[in-house]
Amino acid sequence: MTLWMLAWHNIRRRPARSALTIAAVAIGIAAVVALTAIAWGFESSWQQANDARATDLIVTRQASQNTMPSPFREADVRPLLMQQAHVQQVAGLLSEMLSVSEDGPPAFVFGWEYGSYLWQHLELVEGRWPASAHEQVVVIGTLAAQTLHKGVGDHVDIEGLTFPVVGIFRSSALVENGALLMTLRQMQQTMDKPGKVNVLNIQLDASASETDEAQIQQHVRQQLHGYHVLTSGELVSRNAVVRIAKAMSQVTTLIAGLVGALMVFNTMLMSVSERRREIGLLLAVGWRKAMVMRLIVSESVGLALTGGALGILAGFVLASVLEMLPLMRGKIDPLFSPWFLLAVLGLSVVLGMAGGLLPALNAARTSPSQALRGE
Amino acid sequence: MRHDDARGYRVNTPILTTKKLTLSFDEGRIHALNGVDLRVEEGEFVAITGPSGCGKSSLLHLLAALEEPDAGQRWFRGCAYEDMDDIACFRQQHIGLVFQAFHLLPTLNVLDNVLLPAVPTGRQMADHACDLLQRVGMDHRLQQYPAQLSGGERQRVAIARALINQPDILLADEPTGSLDSVSAGYVLQLLSELRQSMGLTMLMVTHDTDIARQADRQICMRDGRVIA
Amino acid sequence: MNSFWLLVLLLALGGHQATASAQHGTLAMDTGKAVQLRMDVRRYDADGHLLSPLKYALIVQQQDEAQYQLWRVLAPARWRGQKLLAHWQAEHAGAIFWRLSAEGGCLRDAGSFADWPGARQIWLLMRPWQTWAVRQQSGKDDEVNGHDCRWQRVRSPDGRWQVERCMDQQQPVSWRTRLLNHRGNVLQTIDISKLIRRNNGKLAARDFTISDADGSRTTVHVYSGDEDYQPAAGMFLPPEGCAAQPVLP
Ligand SMILES: Nc1ncnc2c1ncn2[C@@H]1O[C@H](COP(=O)(O)OP(=O)(O)OP(=O)(O)O)[C@@H](O)[C@H]1O
Ligand SMILES: [Mg+2]
């Protein structure tokens, strides 16, 4: 017979009420888990894309709060970048989110500088690459092929132009797997943005150290006004969608925590007032007040922890379901790290403690004499 | 000659002493106790009788430190209750309580109910609990729940629970009040056997004069006072 | 759980930079500058039926008092490449325009462009309201789609048009704009639902809805843009021998 066993007996004693409380906590935790995993997955997917491209530094227009960086004239910036020490290659990129099918959700369309290192990390699954910078063709990611039901030999309409699909590629980055890719020249023509890019990717040579990187960053910042020079990691963490997704996961965590704690609080308060006599007895047979408080908090933590565990499972399911939705396909890649799951369990413990504290104090204030006299 | 025993209490002094204990409710409108002076020797069996509402339960609660008096003093083996730094510990080590209403926890089985007072100690007491349950004749029902037991059986479990921490004093508030005469007789016999074998001091509130007569001493109360 | 659907929506809409002035529905621009916008236009008739959705590319250039616009249809296929060229004079409420085929020739039967669903609605939206004098500065306070705003009234120089707009008190945004004729009847209501910040720091509408007096509705979503467009030489010149169409109402 231990305190935990007693707590568990008490939780099981009111199955319906406990189940409801656990469900409320579980729903909150599930939302936290799914949303956070998605937010992190989204971030890490972008990060992977950048890592895979072997990009060290990125130049964009000073970001407004918009989700994709504004286009700028490549010629205004490239010469300065090429002058910097250790810069091996500068590759232009123009990206847009466009609807490429009648009914489907918009997809990423990328234009990458032909012959640049950006293409090297892609793996061709089928067909071929564009033969020249001028060829009006696209290659599409494996996921895009699935969602658009297109294969090599099919055509896609992009902004009123028809592009034959000549190849299907696979990338380590989910964002790219769901994207359509053409040469930068073609993309500029299609979008009527000649000479424009919205990202310049810089690859440094192997001898460049982190201080070199920081130095280049500083140099370029001083000389280029109205532009951002970021390491690829910084770019990802500044991405508006990543930021919003993270902010939303934080807000959800806060709300779920509050609601969960309130539910637990309410349940425990009811339970304490129902069990006044038993609590009086525990005090009468020599339990300290602190022990009684521990019992009540153990019960509330037990409730919250069970809810947390179930919530993690539900969060897994929810994130996987969302991942499967056609609308979200290729845009999210939920990430569940063991540390995160541990933190969520930690959150449920905190939530249980917070919810159980006042009821526990209330229980400890029980007068055993009064409680045992009561009918 | 006085000397201190292992627990630091003086021997040869009464186990329980009270002086001018008063207790009132409803902001002094109801006087439950009006100056109770009491002296109980080690190993004594004292029966407390008196009409309903005369303050018997109140006295037991004060002795068990479940309640604080308005005025007056209590000593355990010469040590004033106010001077004890851990009243919960005192209750746990020295006091066993038996109630008319049993107060068993319905969610716990017989064994766990008996073990309840030992939970804070963290000690493994299951063997001792089984032993006690055997002595009260309930060792064959360890896994059953209070709802499955008769009143007499429940009280026997409650007695085992009161004894699990090997108290010095057993305070019993109408232990047979809810029992039929056969069960009552059995429970009483059990209590007196246990008292003798364990060297317990026992204070028992009862309405039954036959029972009271078996005690070493009877105390009669009226209107919050001891009258005999 | 609301935040879920917000996220879903956000990811679905994805990201882009795009511009259309939030201020009055027109493009408040510096002279000499040109912008390119791409928009999805969906027109619903009074019964809520979706007419053929359209995608436009719009290029606008401001030259002193004149504004040049080139509209090009990207979708659907049957109008793909057709163009509308318009010259506006800020002093006048109207414009002259030419309709061009995909090949660049004139379309002679270009009396109206009612066959482009939503075109007329957007067209009216392009009126250079920003130059019209404010007639009545502060009207009553109101709330539009959850935004507090205050009504004000402006009028075209020739007195034929009036515009009422509900201005945000913190930022230069008209959350609801009403276009009235000279008799004071509301012809159109424009509600802005989503803003975007341009490179120059000004706000622009990214999503808005135009409601007509007959109950029909046009939604516009600006999905791409270039605030620093380099127009090709002669881009805004009408082809040889094309007749200009009269000023639109
Ligand atoms: N919580 C309380 N509030 C007010 N009055 C109380 C309270 N508890 C006890 N009393 C009163 O105190 C007096 C003594 O009560 P107590 O329970 O000690 O009597 P008793 O002798 O045990 O009676 P019984 O034989 O019926 O159990 C009674 O008049 C009772 O009404
Ligand atoms: Mg009583």
Residue ranges per structural domain of chain B: 2-226
Q: State the residue for tokens 């979503």.
A: C221
Residue C237 has what pLDDT? 83
- Residue A67 to residue C16, Cβ atoms within 8 A: yes
> pLDDT: is B80 or A38 the higher one?
B80
A342: its two tokens: 């541990």
Please count the residues of chain B: 228
State yes or no: pLDDT of C14 exceeds 50: no
Tell me if A182 sits within 8 A of A110, measured CB to CB.
yes
Burial status of residue A106 (CB atoms within 10 A of its CB: 0-12, 13-18, 19 or more): buried
Residue C19 has what pLDDT? 27
- Which H or E run contains A167? strand A161-170
pLDDT level of residue B98 (50, 70, 90 thresholds): very high
Mean pLDDT across B197-219: 91
Tell me if A46 sits within 8 A of A199, measured CB to CB.
no
pLDDT in tens, A201-227: 999 888 888 888 888 888 888 888 888
Q: Quick one: closest CA in B to A6, which residue? A: B108
> Could you tell me which chains touch chain B, where touching means 3 or more CB pairs under 8 A?
A
State yes or no: pLDDT of A83 exceeds 70: yes
pLDDT in tens, A339-348: 888 988 998 9
Q: Quick one: closest CA in A to C56, which residue? A: A159
Residue B85 has what pLDDT? 87
> pLDDT: is C31 or B202 the higher one?
B202
> pLDDT: is B2 or C102 the higher one?
C102
Ligand 2 centre to CA of B50 (Å) is 10
Distance CA B163, CA B135 (A): 11
Tell me if A310 sits within 8 A of A21, measured CB to CB.
no
pLDDT level of residue B3 (50, 70, 90 thresholds): very low
pLDDT in tens, A313-361: 998 898 888 877 776 666 666 777 888 889 889 989 999 999 999 999 9
Structural domain count, chain A: 2
Residue A169 has what pLDDT? 95
- Residue A281 to residue B103, Cβ atoms within 8 A: yes
- The DSSP bridge pattern shows strands B95-98 and B169-173 to be parallel
Q: Quick one: closest CA in A to C18, which residue? A: A70
Residue C7 has what pLDDT? 26
The residue contributing the CA closest to ligand 1 atom 31 is B53
pLDDT level of residue C137 (50, 70, 90 thresholds): low
Q: B2-226, which class in CATH? A: alpha beta
Residue A312 has what pLDDT? 92
Please count the residues of chain C: 249
pLDDT level of residue B158 (50, 70, 90 thresholds): very high
pLDDT in tens, C106-134: 766 544 454 566 666 666 665 555 555 55
What architecture is the C7-229 domain classified under in CATH?
Answer: Clam (2.50)
Q: Share the mean pLDDT of chain B.
A: 89
Residue B166 has what pLDDT? 92
For chain A, the C-alpha Rg in angstroms (whole number) is 28
Q: Name the amino acid, one letter, at C96.
A: I
Q: Share the mean pLDDT of chain A.
A: 88
- Which H or E run contains A269? helix A240-274
- Domain termination residue (choose one: A225, A254, A286): A225
- Secondary structure class of A154 (helix, strand, coil): coil
Tell me if A327 sits within 8 A of C14, measured CB to CB.
no
A301: its two tokens: 């933590």
Which ligand has its closest atom nearest to the C-alpha of B52? 1
Residue A15 has what pLDDT? 92
- Phi, psi of A84, deg, nearest 5: -70, 145
Distance CA C39, CA B212 (A): 99
Which candidate from A34, A98, A192 shows the least CB-CB separation from C36? A192
> Which DSSP symbol is given to A84?
S
Collect all residues with Cβ–Cβ distance below 8 Å to A244 and sequence separation of at least 6.
Answer: C7, C10
pLDDT level of residue A237 (50, 70, 90 thresholds): confident
Distance CA A97, CA A39 (A): 19
Identify whether A24 is part of a domain: yes
In this structure, are A34 and A102 located in the same domain? Answer: no
Distance CA C158, CA C173 (A): 25
For residue A235, CA distances in Å to A71, A242, C19, C175 come to 16, 10, 23, 32
Ligand 1 neighbourhood includes B53 CB (under 6 angstroms): yes
Distance CA B99, CA B174 (A): 7
pLDDT in tens, B186-203: 999 999 999 999 999 999
For chain C, the C-alpha Rg in angstroms (whole number) is 18
State yes or no: pLDDT of A98 exceeds 80: yes
In this structure, are A315 and A216 located in the same domain? Answer: no
Tell me if A216 sits within 8 A of A234, measured CB to CB.
no
> pLDDT: is A285 or C163 the higher one?
A285
Tell me if C116 sits within 8 A of C75, measured CB to CB.
no
Mean pLDDT across A161-182: 91
Q: State the residue for tokens 């100056």.
A: B35
- Residue A66 to residue C15, Cβ atoms within 8 A: yes
pLDDT level of residue C10 (50, 70, 90 thresholds): very low
pTM: 0.62
Identify whether A369 is part of a domain: yes
State yes or no: pLDDT of C86 exceeds 50: yes
Looking at beta carbons, which residues of chain A come within 8 Å of C226? 71, 191-193, 196
Tell me if B54 sits within 8 A of B43, measured CB to CB.
no
Which candidate from A71, A226, A332 shows the least CB-CB separation from C226? A71
- Secondary structure class of C232 (helix, strand, coil): coil
A369 CA: distance to closest CA in chain B (Å):
5
Question: Can you say whether residue B26 is alpha, beta or left, with left for phi > 0 and alpha for psi between -120 and 50 degrees?
Answer: left
State yes or no: pLDDT of C155 exceeds 90: no
In this structure, are A75 and A221 located in the same domain? Answer: yes
- Residue A282 to residue B161, Cβ atoms within 8 A: no
A280: its two tokens: 């009086």
Residue A277 has what pLDDT? 93
Which ligand 1 atom sits closest to the C-alpha of B58? 18
Distance CA B167, CA A368 (A): 19
Distance CA B163, CA B143 (A): 19
Looking at beta carbons, which residues of chain A come within 8 Å of C198? 64
Report the alpha-carbon angle A228-A233-A235, nearest 5.
Answer: 35
Mean pLDDT across A66-73: 76
Residue C63 has what pLDDT? 79
Mean pLDDT across B98-107: 92
State yes or no: pLDDT of A47 exceeds 50: yes
In this structure, are A304 and A350 located in the same domain? Answer: yes
The residue contributing the CA closest to ligand 1 atom 2 is B25
In this structure, are A252 and A346 located in the same domain? Answer: yes
- DSSP for C81-121, written as a single string: T-EEEEEEETTSS-EEEEEE-TTS-B-TTTT--TTSTTHHH
The interface predicted TM-score (ipTM) is 0.91
For residue B64, CA distances in Å to A83, B52, B74, C112 come to 90, 20, 10, 100
Residue C195 has what pLDDT? 79
- The DSSP bridge pattern shows strands C83-89 and C95-100 to be antiparallel
Ligand 1 neighbourhood includes B224 CB (under 6 angstroms): no
Which candidate from A9, A289, A373 shows the least CB-CB separation from B107? A9
- Phi, psi of C55, deg, nearest 5: -125, 130
In this structure, are A29 and A172 located in the same domain? Answer: no
- Residue C14 to residue A252, Cβ atoms within 8 A: no
- Domain termination residue (choose one: A180, A200, A225): A225
State yes or no: pLDDT of B33 exceeds 90: yes
Cα torsion through C100, C105, C111, C113, rounded to 10: -30
- Which H or E run contains A240? helix A240-274
State yes or no: pLDDT of A292 exceeds 90: yes
A359: its two tokens: 């009821």
Q: Domain range spanning residue A178? A: 64-225
Strand positions, DSSP E, B13-149: 16-25, 30-40, 45-49, 71-76, 79-80, 95-98
Whether C224 has its CB under 8 Å from any CB of chain A: the answer is yes
Pick from A88-92, B109-113, C208-212: least confident: C208-212
Which candidate from A2, A9, A369 shows the least CB-CB separation from B66? A369
Distance CA A358, CA A7 (A): 17
Q: Which of B33, B91, B115, B128 should we substitute to test contact with A (largest number of A Cβ atoms within 10 Å)? A: B91
Distance CA C156, CA C181 (A): 10
In this structure, are A135 and A279 located in the same domain? Answer: no
- Residue A286 to residue B120, Cβ atoms within 8 A: yes
In this structure, are A259 and A302 located in the same domain? Answer: yes
Tell me what percent of the residues of chain C surpass a pLDDT of 70: 64
- Secondary structure class of A146 (helix, strand, coil): helix
A268: its two tokens: 């425990």
pLDDT in tens, B159-170: 999 999 999 999
Residue A276 has what pLDDT? 93
Q: Quick one: closest CA in C to A104, which residue? A: C12
pLDDT in tens, B43-59: 999 999 999 999 999 99
Mean pLDDT across A162-189: 92
Distance CA A12, CA B108 (A): 11
Pick from A271-275, B221-225, C110-114, C170-174: least confident: C110-114
State yes or no: pLDDT of A1 exceeds 80: no
For residue A297, CA distances in Å to A264, A363, B122, C75, C129 come to 10, 10, 18, 64, 66
Mutate to test the pocket of ligand 1, among B56, B62, B225 (most ligand atoms within 8 A of CB): B56
Tell me if A330 sits within 8 A of A141, measured CB to CB.
yes
In this structure, are A69 and A213 located in the same domain? Answer: yes
- Roughly what angle, to the nearest 10 degrees, separates helices B126-135 and B151-163? 130
Q: Which of these, A100, A98, A117, A95, lies nearest to A193 by C-alpha position?
A: A95
State yes or no: pLDDT of C214 exceeds 90: no
Instruction: Tell me which long-range contacts A46-51 makes (C-beta under 8 A, separation of at least 24).
Output: A46/A173, A46/A175, A46/A235, A46/A236, A46/A239, A46/A242, A47/A232, A47/A233, A47/A236, A48/A172, A48/A173, A48/A174, A49/A171, A49/A172, A49/A173, A49/A175, A49/A176, A50/A232, A50/A233, A50/A235, A50/A236, A51/A232
Residue A289 has what pLDDT? 93
> pLDDT: is C52 or A94 the higher one?
A94
State yes or no: pLDDT of A58 exceeds 80: yes
